[in-house]
Amino acid sequence: MPNSVSTEGIKPGRLATEAYANNFRDLHAPLDAHEASVAADRCYFCHDAPCQTACPTDIDIPQFIREISTGAVGSAATTIFSQNILGGMCARVCPTETLCEEVCVRESAEGKPVEIGRLQRFATDTLMEKAAQPFSRAADTGKKIAVVGAGPAGLSAAHRLALLGNSVTIFDGRAKSGGLNEYGIASYKSVENFAQREVNWLLSIGGITVKHGQKLGAEISIESLQSEYDAVFLAIGLGGVNALGIPGEDQAIVSDAVDFIEELRQTDDLSKMPVGRHVVVIGGGMTAVDAAVQAKLLGAQSVTMLYRRGKNRMSASEFEQDLATSKGVQLVFNAQPVSIGKDSMEFAYTHDVDGKLTLTGETFSLHVDQVFKAIGQTMIGAPDGLEISRGKISVNETGATSVSGIWAGGDCASGGDDLTVTAVAEGRDAAIDIHSFLSGGA
């Protein structure tokens, strides 16, 4: 039975009402037209552009920046959307500092890359604000495809399939579309309900029906979808969270970081969002940073983010780490959780010995009244009959699974990194493969 531990330290309204809007304002202010023109002029328009190679969706970055510099902003947006239909959100959440901007020639020469992410946001926002869908659907193919999951991979696949003339039905267990874009990223990265505005804009292509409250294994099944549709694309994400496996983990003060972020994203009043006074976040990825920073912005007195390995092993980028520390989050490395008590948490110091994590024998403790786990997610509800590899659905380079007629992409599949931009690429490529398959191709 879970221990009965007081959660009195977790409460809402730690800040003055007006402070919440300021704390959760847009992380990166959008560029205006003049700023975008100046930023675009810094691009060398490399012929063999390393930035494009580093982009998981293969956006022609020099081309869209050149179009911005000549005033053809709509064309720039179309160049982006032709490869990444969720280019607006990716411009906000993509770790450009470790992808396109990291390999920018300006970064190598001057230590200051072209602001590719902000330029991408400028172009995509400009077009979307006009409610303009730059693409038209091809002639109806008569084919029907089921997409399970309305996150980045599912939305990307659905749009490309519809663009090619297919009829698509998206099934999602939640009340809103968007997946992690809606429920799983920090509020300050996507303000003013952008995730839903982007979904609505994407759906304006036509040919896509969305059915919410439809969860795989409950309201729908693989068998029923296979019987009704010509192909199935699975983008079910990762629904489970790894356990710490330590004494005290079952206490009421311990919760999953993804649940905290989701609750925060869906609240209409941040002053009613409860947070502890002394918060500990376990993990070294983007989710851990998002949870830690937002806990601090909600008014936590101290927020400590602890990772069991060294700083260089963190999956959160250098930018995200710096963001956390700039907001007052303390980062502690080489610290492994041992146990959670009534109002404290014990840790053991670690170090790497020939690549193997080893305890040093030293321990320390922290006062805590709220703990968030952000140590990775696991897939739950994987359909029977599909080959699973390392906890994910096995797919080939175009997303095809071990079962004919079923494709998969995004976090649930064994493809690339668990990034929004990677999921978009996987959904797009699977859609192209599905269309080719249904058209009689290989």
Q: What are phi and psi of 250, to 5 degrees?
A: -85, 10
More confident residue, 354 or 435: 435
- Each residue's pLDDT tens digit, 186-196: 999 999 999 99
In whole angstroms, give the CA distance from residue 415 to residue 70: 37
Averaged pLDDT for residues 391-409: 96
In whole angstroms, give the CA distance from residue 67 to residue 124: 12
Q: Which CATH code for domain 144-239+379-438? A: 3.50.50.60
- Each residue's pLDDT tens digit, 194-209: 999 999 999 999 999 9
In whole angstroms, give the CA distance from residue 319 to residue 289: 11
Q: Which pTM value belongs to this model?
A: 0.95
Token pair for residue 41?
A: 């002029």
- Each residue's pLDDT tens digit, 254-270: 999 999 999 999 999 99
More confident residue, 417 or 422: 422
In whole angstroms, give the CA distance from residue 369 to residue 309: 24
Domain ranges of the chain: 33-129, 144-239+379-438, 243-376
Averaged pLDDT for residues 360-374: 97
> What is the reported pLDDT for 75?
97
Averaged pLDDT for residues 340-353: 94
Averaged pLDDT for residues 330-334: 98
Token pair for residue 121?
A: 């946001």
> What is the reported pLDDT for 2?
39
- Each residue's pLDDT tens digit, 46-73: 999 999 999 999 999 999 999 999 999 9
Averaged pLDDT for residues 243-259: 95
- In sequence order, the 6+-apart residues with CB closer than 8 A to the CB of 111 are none
> What is the reported pLDDT for 380?
82
Stretch (H or E) spanning 336: strand 335-340
* Residue 276, beta-bridge partner list: none
In this model, does residue 5 exceed pLDDT 70?
no
% of the chain at pLDDT higher than 90: 90
The sign one gets for the Cα dihedral 45, 46, 48, 52 is negative
Provide the pLDDT confidence category of residue 352 given band limits of 50, 70 and 90: confident
> What is the reported pLDDT for 19?
97
% of the chain at pLDDT higher than 70: 98
> What is the reported pLDDT for 442?
54
In this model, does residue 336 exceed pLDDT 80?
yes
> What is the reported pLDDT for 148?
98
Averaged pLDDT for residues 74-98: 97
Q: Which CATH code for domain 33-129? A: 1.10.1060.10
In this model, does residue 6 exceed pLDDT 70?
no
Is residue 317 within 8 Å of residue 289, measured between CB atoms? no
- Each residue's pLDDT tens digit, 206-226: 999 999 999 999 999 999 999
Same fold, 33-129 and 243-376: no
> What is the reported pLDDT for 236?
95
Provide the pLDDT confidence category of residue 390 given band limits of 50, 70 and 90: confident
Output DSSP code: residue 414. S
- The CATH architecture annotation of domain 243-376 reads 3-Layer(bba) Sandwich (3.50)
Averaged pLDDT for residues 62-86: 98
